[in-house]
Amino acid sequence: MKPYDLPDAQGHFGPYGGVFVAETLVHALEQLRAAYEECRGDPQFQNELQSELTHYVGRPSPIYHARRWSQELGGAQIYLKREDLNHTGAHKINNTVGQALLARRMGKRRVIAETGAGQHGVAAATVAARYAMQCVVYMGSEDMGRQAANVYRMRLLGAEVVPVESGSRTLKDALNEALRDWVTRVEDTFYIIGTVAGPHPYPMMVRDFNSVVGRECLQQMPQIAGRQPDHVIACVGGGSNAMGIFYDYIGLEQVQLIGVEAAGHGLASGQHAASLQCGRPGVLHGNRTYLLQDEHGQIQATHSVSAGLDYPGVGPEHAWLKDTGRAQYVGATDAEALQAFHDCCRIEGIIPALESSHALAYASRLAPTLAKDRIVLVNLSGRGDKDLHIVSQAGGLEFFCRPSCREASLAHFGKR
């Protein structure tokens, strides 16, 4: 189901998106666009993609009714789309499998990727191993220190991890470095971007590869819940898991789409990653979108307890969905996400990613305000095993799991 004909031929979602890159990349992007267009309509490519998603990724992922949590909250029924059960533990593999198959189709034997928390790097290294391609991952040296386990995973999978020492030595600097690599080696190299950002056709292509998530939900919800949800909620970093579950629901106007950004220490603190709520339109990493920038257009430092949401921009399609009002964007703070993380562990027996915990936090704030027959579907974008060291440093069990803390949390979220 195609809800609208966006982006246009130049990659625009209204005033957002487009192609803002060095001259040398214009041709490479045009080549990529043409190759993708061909694969998109090629049943053989789509069949191979589907087969890989079934046998390698483990799709379809189930939808699970979080009955106990819904009961405790005393309102709407919460359902979880279990992207955490995919191979490598998150939604990112949906996109890297698609782009790797496209790279192979284009005859490129070398793939590069940027990574912040390391999750996209691991997903890219995984498919490079699977399809016998050389893989180079650019990662800020600051992030390499914070995410040592993922660096080791990528190396186990045969990837070369290159530390980036420029700027704040984090994700945005790694992205710049990957673009620089691509400029010098476009003939044999395919750049696998990890979210719905970057120059056209990436936002469209990454959305399409992740839209398998919403497509499955459309089929699964009537079977498990008897009907489609009233609300669909997903966290938003660059926005790929959110676009993935939103896309097929855009045409169902009765379904409310809600993206949850990282509010960090609170939107008023200035220490957050809420580009759509607090940013202004500008150009970064090849496209026009909402950015966190100061009055001189300098990109601002971001903060989130969740490394995967810690990005000063957002995909251009979300900028469009925000302006048109089709989707609504809200925030969840570090503390709210951590509380939801612990609640999900103890009430449902599922350890969620800290990114996904932002969506869970908003769902647990919304559910008690709705009638018991309302349905909230949350994209559980990944599993939380990768976050245990961060959670334990944040106070973990001592702080979030005291009995009194439960009451404090209920009061905080305004429940009952």
Ligand X SMILES: *Cc1c(COP(=O)(O)O)cnc(C)c1O
Q: Is 407 exposed, middle or buried (0-12, 13-18, 19+ CB in 10 A)?
A: exposed
Window 359 to 398, contacts with ligand X (CB under 6 A): 381-382
Min. distance of Cβ 47 from ligand X in angstroms? 26
The catalytic residue among 92, 108, 172, 386 is 92
Nearer to ligand X by Cβ, of 199 and 239: the residue is: 239
| Interface pick for ligand X out of 112, 273, 338, 353 (rule CB under 6 A) | 353
As a whole number of angstroms, the distance between CA 138 and CA 164 comes to 7
CB of 195 to ligand X, least distance (A): 3
Q: Is 99 in the site for ligand X (CB under 6 A)?
A: no
Task: Beginning with the edge strand found earlier in the chain, give each strand of the sheet holding 160-164 in spatial order.
Answer: 160-164, 134-140, 110-115, 189-191
What is the closest distance, in whole angstroms, from the C-beta atom of residue 334 to ligand X in the complex? 15
The catalytic position among 114, 177, 216, 355 is 114
E strand map for 206-319? 231-235, 256-264, 280-284, 287-291
Shortest spacing between CB 317 and ligand X, in angstroms = 12
348 included as an active-site residue: no
Minimum CB distance to ligand X smaller for 72 or for 261: 261
Choices 3-11, 229-237, 296-304, 337-345; region in contact with ligand X by CB under 6 A: 229-237
92 binds ligand X (CB under 6 A): yes
Please list the residues that pair with 355 across neighbouring strands. Answer: none
User: Binder to ligand X among 310, 334, 343, 355 (CB under 6 A)?
Assistant: 355
Is 199 a binding residue for ligand X by CB under 6 A? The answer is no
Strand partners, 235: 260
Residue 360, φ and ψ in degrees, nearest 5: -65, -40
Q: How far apart are CA 414 and CA 180, in angstroms?
A: 49
- Looking at 14-22, 50-58, 231-239, 246-254, which segment touches ligand X (CB under 6 A)? 231-239
What would the two tokens of residue 150 be?
């993922």
Q: Is 349 exposed, middle or buried (0-12, 13-18, 19+ CB in 10 A)?
A: exposed
Q: Is the CB of 111 or the CB of 235 nearer to ligand X?
A: 235
CA pair distance 97, 330, nearest whole angstrom: 30
186/257 with CB nearer ligand X? 257
**Is position 189 an interface residue for ligand X (rule: CB under 6 A)?**
no
Which residues within the stretch 20-49 sit at the binding site for ligand X (CB under 6 A)?
none
Residues from 235 through 294 that contact ligand X (CB under 6 A): 235-242
In whole angstroms, how close is the CB of 237 to ligand X at the nearest point?
3
Our answer to whether residue 372 is catalytic in this structure is no
308 binds ligand X per the rule CB under 6 A: yes
In whole angstroms, the minimum distance from the beta carbon of 189 to ligand X comes to 22
Give the whole-angstrom CA distance, residue 242 versus residue 372: 25
Contacts with 90 (C-beta within 8 Å, 6 or more apart), sequence order: 83, 84, 119, 123, 241, 353, 381, 382, 383
Q: By C-beta, is 317 or 355 nearer to ligand X?
A: 355
CA nearest to 80, candidates 367, 324, 398, 395: 367
CB-CB contact of 395 with 96 (8 Å): no
CB 197 within 8 A of CB 239: yes
The CB-of-381 to ligand X minimum distance in angstroms stands at: 4
Q: Is 404 a catalytic residue?
A: no
Residues that bind ligand X (CB under 6 A): 90, 92, 119, 195, 235-242, 308-309, 353, 355-356, 381-382
Residues marked as catalytic: 92, 114, 381
